[in-house]
Structure 1
Amino acid sequence: MGCKALKFLFWVSSILCLALFSRGFTPADNYLIDCGSPTNTTVGDRVFMADNLASKLLSAPENVLGNTSKSVTSSDDSPLYQTARIFTGVSKYTFSISRRGRHWIRLYFYPFVHASYNMSMAKFDVSTDNHVLLSSFGVQSLTVKEFSVNVTTNSLAITFSPSENSFAFINALEVVSAPDQLIQDTAGSVQSSVTFQGLTWQALETVVRVNMGGPTVSFENDTLWRTWVPDQRFLVGKNLALSVSNIGAVKYVDGGSSEDIAPSSVYGTCTRMNSINDSSSNFNVTWEFDVDPGFQYLVRFHFCDIVSEALNLLYFNVFIDSSMVVRDLDLSTYLVNILAAAYYMDYVTESATSNKIRVSIGPSNLHGTYPDAILNGLEIMKMNNSDGSLSGLGTISSSSSSSKKNVGAIVGVSVGVASGVLLAGVLFMLCRKRRRLARQRLSKTWVAFSINGGGTSHTMGSKYSKGTTVSLNSNMSYHVPFLAVQEATNNFDESWVIGIGGFGKVYKGELSDGTKVAVKRGNPQSQQGLAEFQTEIEMLSQFRHRHLVSLIGYCDEKNEMILIYEYMENGTLKSHLYGSGHPSLNWKQRVEVCIGAARGLHYLHTGYAKAVIHRDVKSANILLDENLMAKVADFGLSKTGPELDQTHVSTAVKGSFGYLDPEYFRRQQLTEKSDVYSFGVVLFEVLCARPVIDPTLPREMVNLAEWAMKWQKKGQLEHIIDPNLKGNIRPDSLRKFGETAEKCLADFGVDRPSMGDVLWNLEYALQLQEAVVQGDPDENSTNMIGELPPQINNFSQLDPNGSPQFHGSSVDDLSGVSMSKVFSQLVKSEGR
């Protein structure tokens, strides 16, 4: 069947299903106003009230001189945009609410030019009693703003406040009840195992609502009058995706989604991995969306398996930015083994640090599964900040009495609804005091900490003894008895040593339940003593991430400093690159290891209110588990990053020779970009499989970073790569990988990418390695690059804040310090 015939069938099926569509929800409150219009206006099956009939809803303060509102007329043909109401002073609509709960607020704007008003020049705020919806808002083209708020009183006021020497306007306005079940109170948390609670009280602004793999779904074909747009313009790499339609297969069942959550025309289409007839496919399908930094976002995934012919055939992973939020998703297990059942999942992000959010789906790594993934629909909604604002700028224009209602709008992640700003402040101060006292106690007596990320129990002892049972999910703090550590390591048997570092020896150990562990025993003669021991415990006891090595326990008895970690079966990344005789990794494995390490570092940099800077990123501190999954280790030198009003942390220089950031070395000013530099060295180490400092080589080759950069700038990186990789790297993958490493090694931190951008580029390098154009007989051919869309093939056209295109600097080292001179004096690459 030809493409035209397939497209025809697709559109016919869509139209037939839409024709069968019927509304099921009747709103208790349903205010529709065509602002400025002298007559009612019909749009679809909805009637917008004439403005003069709604005049009783509109009020303005008595102290505003002159007419505070006027009607003007447009020549535009769209029914809701032919008239507008102008506000020259603070004015508000007040709506009587018959049923409390969540309501839609939709604001329609079209800035046509009138004889008296050029509405594209308007600047104004829009607020409710409890929330700022828009601040310093201006409109340049037709715009619809959609909000969802929880109304807890018998009225809702929407206030328009013109900026100084300006005015406000509105073309049409909706206040409509929404179903109570539309927004549940809880959701999953990105980068955290803690469930987010308190969504019920959040004001939400719709950022985007997307119908994957299908056409626009208009408000007339949605029970809640929403509009769903096609996903094509958000796709990164359109050739990696296929559109599928099977609307008739959609089933709504108990425990799943409903027609009010999303219509069948959304669940009945999907975007799917373009992996048909290629069982070796390994890439993600990615969408990118614009967002405002500084806010958390509710991301809702809509799934419906309309592609499988039987149950338990489709397994895939789901990502938000660099975080995997669902692993090995099997949709048929969620809904009592029913195929093509509609289902949705909600996740709340951390506060956005970028102006982009990327959503991805990709194949599962489960053995025996075919590489495939689908997504049917997606919604992204901005959540109000702690001030109740969705803009971060404006203030609430309401009476002093209504400001008291703000208290209930501030929501905590793990404790539900907070009592208010005062309580939040008190809790903040108490937490700070408690953390300070805990650090003081820890530095003096090494009081045990609590592991809160596990759900299993381990018996701390060898498999030959009874041992001491310690529960990882217990609320009680614990530490590991020295006797149990001795038994687990066969009394620190030297034949069990698996590594030696600056802190001391690392032993392989085995607990009585068979769990393998790595035991790091501090050397009393080491300069890396109490401070690093304390830092390691403080850092790893609060972090839980699949790409960070987990700390199981510690022992401080008998003047010992012992740390116990999960055991990493395949040792260090360094050991697989050179000098150990371990099996060499192929190119795909190496890039995947780099991706995993980048995810761990990205989490450190962005997962908390203040960044955590590792300060000792190197191949010896990237460990591999039995599946070669990478985890970042050794947090003894880690340090929290600068405050919000600072650019850096001033601190003594620490790190490992060969990986040290030259700017940090010169200025003793630490930022996250110091980790980025070190990671760039690791990337070249992975590519070239040689020590980062090798004094036995000719002078120009001693320092790997300087040597590799010379070849990278020549565009001849292939001449120095690991011989084991020659002929096995696709040229475009090598080029992207080399460019990423080069940008990481920029002289100045400001010119280096963030770890999030590094991660995105590495994932793209892997896709370039794995991508094969259908019908291309040469698997190593790079002809497929020409098939990529322009925004992927030419990064320079993308927005610099959200794209992998970075702007480097060729500014010389201002201090005059040559890093070659420094490194040429060193003979011990592992020294700190």
Structure 2
Amino acid sequence: MAPRILLQLFLFGLVIMCLGLFSNAFNPADNYLINCGSPSATTIGRRTFAADVPLSWTLTSSKRIMANTTSNSVSSFSTPALYQTARIFTGASSYTFPIKQQGRHFVRLYFFPFIYQNFNLKIANFTVSTQDTVLLHGYPAQGGAATAVFREYSMNITHKQLILSFVPLPNSSLAFVNAIEVVSVPDNLISDTAQTLNPPGTYQGLSEQAFEMVYRINMGGPYVSPDNDTLWRTWIPDENFLLDKTLAAFKSFSGTINYEGGVTREIAPDVIYSTATELSPALTNTSNARFNVTWQFDVDSGSTYLLRLHFCDIVSDALFELYFDVYISAYMAKSDVDLSTISVNVLAAAYYMDFVVDMTDGSRKLNVSIGPSSLPNVLPAGILNGLEILKMTSNGTVTVVSPPNSKANVGVIIGSVVGALAAVILAACVACIMIRRRKTGKKQESKTWTPLSINGIMSQSLGSGLSDGNTVRMGLNANFGYRFSISVLQEATNNFDEGCVIGVGGFGKVYKGVLKDETIVAVKRGNPKSQQGLNEFHTEIDLLSRLRHRHLVSLIGFCDERNEMILVYEYMEKGTLKNHLYGSNLPALSWKQRLEICIGSARGLHYLHTGQAKAIIHRDVKSANILLDENLMAKVADFGLSKAGPELDQTHVSTAVKGSFGYLDPEYYRRQQLTEKSDVYSFGVVLLEVLCARPVIDPTLPREMVNLAEWAIKFQKRGELDQIVDPRITGTIRSDSLRKFGETVEKCLADCGVDRPAIGDVLWNLEYVLQLQEVDGGTEVNSINRISELPSQIHNMSILETETVDEHLPKKETVDEPGVNDHSNVSMSKVFSQLFQSEGR
């Protein structure tokens, strides 16, 4: 602890020295600081919060109460004076702030619930919003506890006024706020672009987004108060977020920080760049030391975050000494980082990197790691100086309260009145339509859906009314089926209740739904903020309307009302293969079950690659996209990134890289040339997941174990694959079966696509592996004999594999029953074999 105390004393001196820099600090055009409910001004540090009486802003409320508390519990806060008074609202209320300079602003809100006279703020429940954005939906009450809540939002204000509205929710009659800040900040504080990780690419449009600050961390340093930050931000130490403190060391710097390349003290102050957490030098004194330093943070599953990582090389004695890798959760964010090159060949230069991360894998934990570079002749090292995690806020319907009897706001009043009248008229029209539909519904036993236009063919409906119950199959494109109304899917999912969520993906959340005829379905609702949007929606409908196979998840229908993008699938009782391998408490799958799942998945991929005139390349093969039904039969899902393969006279399709990190074909990633072999590589990674039951990328592990494919192939080449088998099935796998499985994986993961087998060849090998596992006596000769006894239908594979549905045939002639137009049980041993010459498609 002594070094830590010395560090804090040093930094205290540094802060005192840096105070002189604040004479040139950013001067905000808008700077509203309000101590709500207070009759007089309150000074906090070097800032003064005005009394809560309308001066240059307007406070509007049907009833507002100024309240105060003498509770001792507020004394423990860093700014207790701001929590001792509050403005209480018993109805919709608002503050209106004139905006002198449009652009990016901080909006900060302070809440502390207490009891004042007959008002118990501990049970208040309300929303806070601007004209454009819902900031807080439902005050986060802590079970009636008196807990302080601080919220900071960063938003681009494009109006001449900012109207901040407080609206009690129906289950509450109270809203309140203790203090408010509305402060201008530099527009370039948020860049317009950032890197994305899944898939790798660039996110554009950040400068227009609104964000909520979730974490602001000072790595290796102490708590930083608003008075010591040029934009009055608070930074907290990183110690409580470190997964293993013994791997980390804390570094401080007394020299001058170099601000170049657009980085200023508004991005982060000196005190942030003057401290760092690094890989412990005591553990990195040899080139063989391989470990990562990892911080872990609680986040909301399904949300999108902007991560800003701050760097400043305060540990090197010379240029080109520091090289390291940066990971965010399961993804390599940046490899072989060389800060001396990035910062124009100077040390101690401030620098930052921005990343947009979608928490679409269902996880509520976000990891950030630094670790050694894999470059030759480079000593293990790595640093991080600061970290900001900002959550993109949700837009939604907002309530703006206009000041009554205010001449200055006549336009706002007129707009509100007109809007209210329009809303009443619209509600009346909707009510009439609903009544008419209900009357029509009582007269008709069968109701229909609106026409579906797909592939240039308009399906014809059989009636005039939209259904909210039964459905009929639609016209020419009958292979696919239904267009659902949003009301039916709301009813099926209890209005998209969070309790019905069974998964979260790049497209959006997946809900379990029950239709009126008691059919259980999976409802995938698109997230408008997702990077996977309209194109993926159309791709999935287009593909699955033409494809049917026992090992492909079936699409039942879709909904595109009210700008919704919703896909409805058959429900897969057992969920994803990933959940059965790790990350849950589900029973362990046996080796035979795992092989059967792999074989089923390979059959689905084989049909995609060979069942059409042109191959269909999935592009996102991973364990999370392999679903299991009640009998553990595997089906490949999620075709939003799929793409048609090359023409017969071409070798590849040139396209932007998309997929999931850890599964990406390295050749595709390097050359942006997509082939069916890219799916084969991804499937090879899935096979390793099945064998080892661990994530494909895990930054919390030692460097050599982070990437599953790289790590496992080393064992395979040494003939030691048995050492990394899932401990739950160790000893149950026959040696010949494991050997052949390892050989298959190694071929799938060949660096060059031409060296990888076709998926049909992989399928044959997996069937071979299963026979080796089940054969009596365990001899490979016997297994070959058994394989040769597989069904005779294999001689007609070129005919049997094609399952494209004729668009001009009725649905009943394209049968899905086992054995009819579905050849998922047919072996590929005749066409793809190690005993016969493989032939092209």
Deviation at 1:9, TM superposition (A): 5.9
- SS of 1:260's equivalent in the other structure is coil
Shift of 1:192: 2.8
Q: 1:634/1:81 Cα in 2 relative to 1: closer, same or farther (>3 Å)?
A: farther
Correspondence 1:360 to 2:369: yes
> Residue 191 of structure 2 corresponds to which residue in structure 1?
184
Deviations along 1:311-358, whole A, 9 cap, x unmatched? 011011111101011010000111210111000111101244322211
Show CA shifts across 1:11-35 (max 9, x none): 4553444444425100000001000
1:373 aligns with 2:382: yes
Structure 2 residue 291 is matched with structure 1 residue 283: yes
The answer to whether residue 67 in structure 2 is matched with residue 71 in structure 1 is: yes
Distance 2:194 2:318 in 1: 29
- Amino acid of the residue matched to residue 193 of structure 2? T
Name the residue aligned to 1:163.
169
Corresponding position of 1:519: none
One-letter amino acid of the structure 2 residue matched with residue 109 of structure 1: F
- 1:810 equivalent in structure 2: none
Cα shift readout 1:772-816 (whole Å, capped 9, x = no counterpart) = xxxxxxxxxxxxxxxxxxxxxxxxxxxxxxxxxxxxxxxxxxxxx
Partner residue, 2:495:
none
Q: Are 1:144 and 2:153 matched, yes or no? A: no
Cα distance in 1, alignment partners of residues 610 and 758 from structure 2: 13
Q: 1:384 to 1:632 in 2, by over 3 A?
A: farther
Q: Is 1:594 the equivalent of 2:708?
A: yes
Structure 1 residue 250: Cα displacement: 1.8
Q: 2:45 — aligned with what? A: 44
Q: What is the match of residue 83 of structure 1?
A: 85
- Aligned positions of 1:430-579 closer than 5 A: 432-433=537-538, 530-531=610-611, 534-536=615-617, 543-544=658-659, 545=661, 547-549=663-665, 563=676
Give 3-state SS (helix, strand or coil) of 1:236's partner: coil
Change (3 A) 1:529 1:381: closer
Paired amino acid for 1:153:
H
Change in 2 beyond 3 A, CA 1:122/1:657: farther
Instruction: Please point out which of 265, 271, 279 is paired with 1:273.
Output: 279
CA separation of 1:166 and 1:537: change in aligned 2, threshold 3 A: closer
2:220 is matched with which residue?
A: 213
Q: Is the 8 A contact 1:87 1:168 kept in 2?
A: yes
Question: Matches of residues 299-314 of structure 1 in structure 2 within 5 Å?
Answer: 299-314=307-322
Whether contact under 8 Å (1:318, 1:326) holds in the other structure is: yes
Question: 1:776 matched to which residue of 2?
Answer: none
Assess, with a 3 A threshold, how the Cα gap between structure 1 residues 123 and 12 changes in structure 2: closer, same or farther: closer
Runs (5+) with no aligned partner, structure 2? 403-411, 420-505, 507-525, 549-594, 596-601, 621-641, 644-656, 692-700, 714-739, 784-828, 836-841
Contact 1:243 1:272 in 2 (8 A): yes
Correspondence for 2:269: 263
| Amino acid of the structure 2 residue aligned with 1:14 | L
TM-score, length basis structure 2: 0.54
In the other structure, the counterpart of 2:717 is none
Matches within 5 A, 1:389-404: 395-397=398-400
1:293 is aligned to 2:301: yes
CA distance 1:357–1:263, shift in 2 (3 Å): same
Q: Give the residue type in structure 1 aligned to 2:47.
A: R
Name structure 1 gaps, 5 residues minimum: 405-412, 414-420, 444-501, 503-521, 554-560, 579-586, 600-616, 638-652, 661-689, 703-825
Q: Is the 8 A contact 1:256 1:342 kept in 2?
A: no
8 Å CA contact retained: 1:108, 1:170 = yes
Match of 1:137, SS state, is coil
8 Å contact 1:187–1:196 — kept in the other structure? yes
Give 1:290 deviation, angstroms: 1.2
Q: Structure 1's 658 and 145: CA in aligned 2 closer, same or farther, altered over 3 A? A: farther
Q: 1:155 to 1:423 in 2, by over 3 A?
A: same
Q: 1:625 to 1:829 in 2, by over 3 A?
A: closer
Instruction: Determine which of 135, 148, 159 is the counterpart of 1:153.
Output: 159
- C-alpha displacement of 1:543: 3.3
Q: Show the counterpart of 2:636.
A: none
| AA partner of residue 130 (structure 1) | D
Q: CA deviation at 1:163?
A: 1.7
* Structure-2 separation of matches of 1:328 and 1:178: 33
Alignment of 1:113-124 (within 5 A): 113-124=115-126
The 2-side partners of 1:95 and 1:86 are apart by: 19
Q: Structure 1: which amino acid aligns with 2:243?
A: V
Deviations 1:373-395 (A, max 9, x none): 0000000000124xx15xxxx75
2:49 & 2:546 partners in 1: Cα distance?
66
Amino acid corresponding to residue 372 of structure 1 in structure 2:
A
Matched, 1:29 2:30: yes
**Deviation at residue 144 of structure 1 after TM alignment:** 1.1
Output the CA distance in 2 between the equivalents of 1:596 and 1:398.
59
SS at structure 1 position matched to 2:82: helix
Corresponding position of 1:667? none
Q: Output the CA distance in 1 between the equivalents of 2:47 and 2:136.
A: 26
- In angstroms, what is the RMSD of aligned CA positions? 5.0
Structure-2 separation of matches of 1:85 and 1:573: 57
Please report how far the alpha carbon of residue 422 of structure 1 lies from its aligned counterpart in structure 2 after TM superposition.
14
Q: Deviations over 1:653-697 (max 9, x none)?
A: 99946999xxxxxxxxxxxxxxxxxxxxxxxxxxxxx98667535
Q: Displacement, 1:82?
A: 1.6
- The whole-number CA distance in structure 2 between the counterparts of 1:160 and 1:198 is 28
**1:338/1:177 CA distance change after superposition, 3 Å:** same
1:91 and 1:220 mapped to 2: Cα distance?
Answer: 31
**Offset, 1:118:** 2.4
Residue-by-residue CA offset, 1:496-526 (whole Å, 9 max, x unaligned): xxxxxx9xxxxxxxxxxxxxxxxxxx99xx9
CA contact (8 A) 1:692 1:829 kept: no
After superposition, where does 1:601-620 map in structure 2 within 5 Å? 619-620=742-743
Pair 1:37–1:572, CA change in 2 (3 A):
closer
Q: How has the CA–CA distance of structure 1 residues 180 and 543 changed in structure 2, closer, same or farther, with 3 Å as cutoff? A: closer
What amino acid does structure 2 have at the position aligned with 1:534?
A: A
3-state DSSP of counterpart to 1:248: coil
Shift in alpha-carbon separation, 1:830–1:252, aligned structure 2, 3 A = same
| Letter in structure 2 aligned against 1:594 | L
Aligned residue number for residue 663 of structure 1: none
For residues 132-168 of structure 1, the C-alpha deviation after alignment (integer angstroms, 9 at most, x for no partner) is 0011113441121000111001000000011223311
- Cα distance in 2 between the residues matched to 1:359 and 1:127: 31
2:104 alignment partner, SS class: strand
User: Which secondary structure does the structure 1 equivalent of 2:194 belong to?
Assistant: strand
Pair 1:247–1:205, CA change in 2 (3 A): farther
Letter in 1 for 2:131: D
Instruction: Map Cα deviations across residues 466-489 of structure 1 (whole Å, 9 max, x no partner).
Output: xxxxxxxxxxxxxxxxxxxxxxxx
Cross-structure match for 1:772: none
Q: Aligned partner of 1:71: which letter?
A: A
- Residue identity in the other structure for 2:95: Y
CA shift, 1:186, in A, is 0.8
The alignment partner of 2:255 has SS state of: helix
- Equivalent position of 1:417 in the other structure: none
- Contact 1:88 1:166 (C-alpha < 8 Å) held by counterparts: yes
Contact 1:13 1:247 in 2 (8 A): no
Residues 733-753 of structure 1 show CA distances to partners (whole Å, capped at 9, x for unaligned) of: xxxxxxxxxxxxxxxxxxxxx
Could you say what secondary structure the match of 1:195 adopts?
Answer: strand
Residues in 1 aligned to 2:619 and 2:366: alpha-carbon distance in whole angstroms: 30
Q: Is the 8 A contact 1:623 1:630 kept in 2?
A: no
Alpha-carbon distance in structure 2 between the residues aligned to 1:313 and 1:217: 30
Task: Look up the SS of the partner of 1:279 in the other structure.
Answer: coil
Displacement of 1:441? 9.7
Aligned-partner residue type, residue 129 of structure 1: Q
